[in-house]
C-alpha cells in the first residue's frame, strides 16, 4: 500500500501543469527526433540538455525522459515508411514493418508498433514500480560471463533467420563481427583492421552508419533494380474504420510478440551496458523462434513489428532502473540523464529513494503519463505518416537518399562515414542478390562490441578456462540453452538428409 501511495503522489506531481506541458512537448519532440535517421534519443537528449536548466531539476528530468520515450516510439516511423531505421533501436522493426508498407499495409504496421510500444512501456512501468530494488540487485550479479552468455543466446536465436541455409547465416554473422572489430581494441588499446591506414577506421564503424547504408541506400537500390524504377509505393488506405480494423488485427496477430518483447526487453534493459538495441533484436529472434509461422517473418508479420517495438520501449524504462538505484547507466541515453542529474545536484544510488522521494516518484509517475501521451500523439500522426507513402517512388527514392546522407552526417559529422554508407548500401544490395540474410550481420555488429570484451574479460578471470561459462549459476543455464539452439538446425539438417537417403 505504501508503494501505491507513493505512486499516486508521483502521478499527481507529473500532472502538474508545468510537468504535463513538458511531457507533451518532450514526447512530440522525441517522436520526430526518433523518426529522423541518424538522430535518435541519445543525440536528442544531449542537444536539449542545456534547455533543462531553465526549469526545476524534477521537471527537467521528466522532460528529458519524455524525449526518450517519444524517440523510442518515433524510431518505427521511418523504419516503416521509408525503410530507414530512425535509430538503432528500430532496426528490427524494419524487417517486417517495411514489407507491410510495401504491401499497402503501413497503417497496420504503425498501429501495431504504437500499441506494442504502449504495452511494453506499461509492463515495464509496473515492473519498475514493484521490483526496483531486487531487480537492481539481480543486475549487479551479471558479470562478464553472464553478459557474454546472454549475447551468445541472442546469436543463437538469430541462427534461424537465414531459413534453411545455415552456412549463409553464419557467413553473415561473421561479416558483421569483422566490421564490429574495426578500430581500437577495447582491452589492449591497439588499432585493428585499419584498412589502408585510413584514419577514419580508427573510430570503428558506427552502427547507425551500417544501418542507414544497409536499410536506406541498399533498400532503395534493391527496389529500383527490382522494379526498373517504374513502381510507385502501394497506395495505402486511411480511414477511421480502417484504423479500428487494423487495431483489432494488431492485437490478434501481435499479442505474442508484444508479450515476449515487453518482458525480455525490460530484463535486457536493466542490465548495465546492454540497452534497447540488443533487447529489440533479441525479442525479434525469440518471437520468430517460438512462432508457429516463422516463415512469415521478414515478409510482413505484425508479430515481427510488435516484438522489437515492445522490447525497445520496455528496455528504455528498464535502463532507468540501474541508473536511479545504483548510479550505473543502462544505455547511452541514460548515461546523459545521469550526467544531468549530477549537474542538478542529485546523487543516484540506493539513498536517492530515501532522500529524494518526491523527485523519484514524480519521475516514475511521469513514465506512466509519458507512455499514454506517446500513444495518443503517435496514433494522431499516423495519417500524416501514411500520406508520405502516397508519393511516387521517383520522388521517394531521392528523398531516401538525401535523408540517408544527412542522417549519417548528423550522427558522426565525418565524410568518411558518408562513403561507408554508400559502400554498405552497395554491399547490402549484392548480398540480397545472392540471397544472403542481412539481419544476422546487423545483429553481429550491434552485439559484437559487447560480446568480445566480455568474452575476453571472462577468460582473463578464469585464466583461460572456458568452463567459467558453464559453472556459474546464471551463465551456465543460459550458455547451455544457447548452444542447444545453435546446434539444433544442424541436427535437423542431418536428420533430414538421413531420412532422404533411407527413402
pTM given for the model = 0.79
Straight-line distance from the first to the last Cα atom of the chain, in angstroms, rounded to the nearest whole number: 67
Query: How far apart, in Å, are the Cα atoms of 107 and each of 72, 237, 299?
Result: 18, 8, 16
Asked if residues 192 and 184 have their Cβ atoms less than 8 Å apart, the reply is yes
Residues 6+ apart with CB under 8 A from 390: 233, 235, 236
Note the maximum CA span of the chain: 77
**Helix axes of 276-290 and 302-326: crossing angle, nearest 10 degrees:** 140
C-alpha cell at 39: 538522430
Displacement of CA 471 from its chain's centroid (Å):
31
* Residue 287 DSSP class: H
Structural domains in the chain (count): 1
Distance CA 29, CA 67 (A): 6
Residues 6+ apart with CB under 8 A from 113: 73, 76, 80, 93, 97, 305, 306, 309
Residue 157 CA neighbour count, 13 Å, CB half: 22
pLDDT in tens, the chain (503 residues): 577 887 888 888 888 888 899 999 999 888 888 877 666 677 777 777 777 777 787 888 888 888 888 888 888 888 888 777 767 778 888 889 888 888 888 888 889 999 999 999 999 999 888 877 677 667 667 788 988 888 888 788 766 544 556 778 788 888 888 888 898 887 788 888 888 888 888 888 877 788 788 877 887 787 777 666 554 444 455 566 667 787 888 888 888 999 999 999 898 888 765 667 788 888 898 888 888 888 888 888 899 999 999 998 898 888 888 778 777 766 677 777 877 777 777 777 767 777 778 888 888 888 899 889 988 888 888 877 777 666 676 777 787 788 778 877 776 778 888 899 899 989 988 988 888 878 778 778 877 888 888 899 999 999 889 999 999 988 899 899 888 877 777 676 677 666 666 65
Query: How far apart, in Å, are the Cα atoms of 293 and each of 36, 299, 302?
Result: 32, 11, 12
Distance CA 210, CA 277 (A): 14
Distance CA 490, CA 502 (A): 18
Distance CA 318, CA 388 (A): 33
Asked if residues 57 and 362 have their Cβ atoms less than 8 Å apart, the reply is no
**Helix axes of 302-326 and 240-270: crossing angle, nearest 10 degrees:** 40
Residues 6+ apart with CB under 8 A from 480: 470
Predicted pLDDT at 204: 83
SS3 sequence, 403-415? HHHHHHHHHHCCH
Task: Give the domain range for residue 141.
Answer: 2-502
SS3 sequence, 292-335? CCHHHCCCCCHHHHHHHHHHHHHHHHHHHHHHHHHCCCCCHHHH
Distance CA 451, CA 278 (A): 11
As beta bridge partners, residue 183 has: 192
Predicted pLDDT at 491: 72
Asked if residues 283 and 308 have their Cβ atoms less than 8 Å apart, the reply is yes
* Closest listed residue to residue 86, CA positions, set 293, 261, 312: 312
Distance CA 203, CA 88 (A): 18
10 Å CB burial of residue 104 (0-12, 13-18, 19+) is middle
Distance CA 246, CA 243 (A): 5
* Residue 184 DSSP class: E
Distance CA 397, CA 86 (A): 17
Distance CA 263, CA 314 (A): 7
Displacement of CA 210 from its chain's centroid (Å):
14
Distance CA 498, CA 492 (A): 10
Q: Which residues of 339-363 are buried (b: 16+ CB within 10 A; e: fewer)?
A: ebbeeeebebeeebbeebeebbbbb
Distance CA 51, CA 63 (A): 10
Distance CA 275, CA 271 (A): 7
Distance CA 189, CA 185 (A): 5
Query: Length of the chain, please?
Result: 503
* Residue 213 DSSP class: I
CB atoms within 10 A of CB 77: 29
Amino acid at each position: 500500500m505504501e508503494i501505491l501511495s507513493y505512486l499516486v503522489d508521483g502521478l499527481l506531481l507529473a500532472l502538474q501543469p508545468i510537468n504535463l506541458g513538458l511531457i507533451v512537448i518532450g514526447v512530440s519532440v522525441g517522436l520526430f527526433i526518433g523518426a529522423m535517421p541518424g538522430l535518435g534519443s541519445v543525440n536528442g537528449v544531449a542537444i536539449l540538455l542545456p534547455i533543462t536548466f531553465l526549469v526545476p531539476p524534477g521537471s527537467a528530468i521528466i522532460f528529458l525522459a519524455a524525449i526518450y520515450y517519444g524517440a523510442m516510439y518515433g524510431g518505427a516511423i521511418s523504419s516503416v515508411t521509408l525503410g530507414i531505421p530512425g535509430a538503432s533501436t528500430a532496426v528490427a522493426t524494419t524487417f517486417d514493418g517495411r514489407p507491410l508498407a510495401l504491401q499497402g499495409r503501413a497503417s497496420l504496421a504503425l498501429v501495431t508498433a504504437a500499441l506494442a510500444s504502449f504495452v511494453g512501456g506499461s509492463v515495464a512501468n509496473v515492473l519498475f514500480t514493484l521490483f526496483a530494488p531486487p531487480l537492481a540487485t539481480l543486475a549487479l550479479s551479471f558479470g562478464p560471463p553472464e553478459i557474454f552468455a546472454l549475447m551468445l543466446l541472442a546469436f543463437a536465436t538469430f541462427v534461424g533467420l537465414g531459413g534453411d541455409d545455415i552456412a549463409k547465416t553464419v557467413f553473415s554473422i561473421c561479416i558483421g563481427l569483422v566490421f564490429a572489430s574495426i578500430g581500437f581494441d577495447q582491452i589492449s588499446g591497439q588499432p585493428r583492421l585499419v584498412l589502408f591506414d585510413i584514419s577514419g577506421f580508427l573510430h570503428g564503424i558506427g552502427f547507425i552508419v551500417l544501418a542507414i547504408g544497409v536499410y536506406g541506400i541498399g533498400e532503395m537500390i534493391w527496389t529500383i533494380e527490382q522494379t526498373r524504377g517504374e513502381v510507385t509505393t502501394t497506395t495505402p488506405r486511411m480511414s477511421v474504420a480502417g484504423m479500428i480494423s487494423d487495431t483489432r488485427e494488431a492485437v490478434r496477430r501481435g499479442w505474442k510478440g508484444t508479450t515476449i518483447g515487453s518482458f525480455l526487453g525490460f530484463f535486457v534493459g536493466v542490465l548495465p551496458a546492454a540497452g534497447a538495441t540488443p533487447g529489440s533484436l533479441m525479442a525479434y529472434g525469440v518471437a520468430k523462434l517460438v512462432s508457429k509461422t516463422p516463415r512469415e517473418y521478414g515478409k510482413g508479420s505484425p508479430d515481427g513489428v510488435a516484438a522489437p517495438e515492445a522490447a525497445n520501449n520496455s528496455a528504455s524504462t528498464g535502463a532507468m532502473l540501474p541508473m536511479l538505484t545504483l548510479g550505473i547507466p543502462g544505455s547511452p541515453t541514460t548515461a546523459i540523464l545521469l550526467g544531468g542529474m549530477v549537474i542538478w545536484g542529485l546523487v543516484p544510488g540506493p539513498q536517492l529513494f530515501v532522500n529524494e522521494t518526491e523527485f523519484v516518484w514524480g519521475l516514475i509517475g511521469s513514465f506512466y503519463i509519458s507512455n499514454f501521451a506517446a500513444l495518443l500523439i503517435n496514433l494522431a500522426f499516423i495519417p500524416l505518416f501514411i500520406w508520405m507513402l502516397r508519393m511516387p517512388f521517383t520522388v521517394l527514392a531521392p528523398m531516401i537518399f538525401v535523408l540517408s546522407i544527412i542522417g549519417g552526417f548528423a550522427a558522426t559529422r565525418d565524410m568518411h562515414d558518408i562513403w561507408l554508407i554508400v559502400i554498405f548500401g552497395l554491399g547490402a544490395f549484392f548480398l540480397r542478390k545472392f540471397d544472403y540474410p542481412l539481419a544476422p550481420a546487423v545483429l553481429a555488429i550491434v552485439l559484437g562490441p559487447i560480446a568480445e570484451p566480455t568474452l575476453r574479460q571472462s577468460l582473463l578471470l578464469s585464466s583461460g578456462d572456458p568452463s567459467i561459462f558453464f559453472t556459474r549459476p546464471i551463465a551456465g543455464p543460459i550458455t547451455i540453452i544457447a548452444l542447444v539452439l545453435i546446434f539444433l538446425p544442424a541436427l535437423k539438417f542431418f536428420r533430414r538428409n538421413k531420412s532422404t537417403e533411407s527413402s
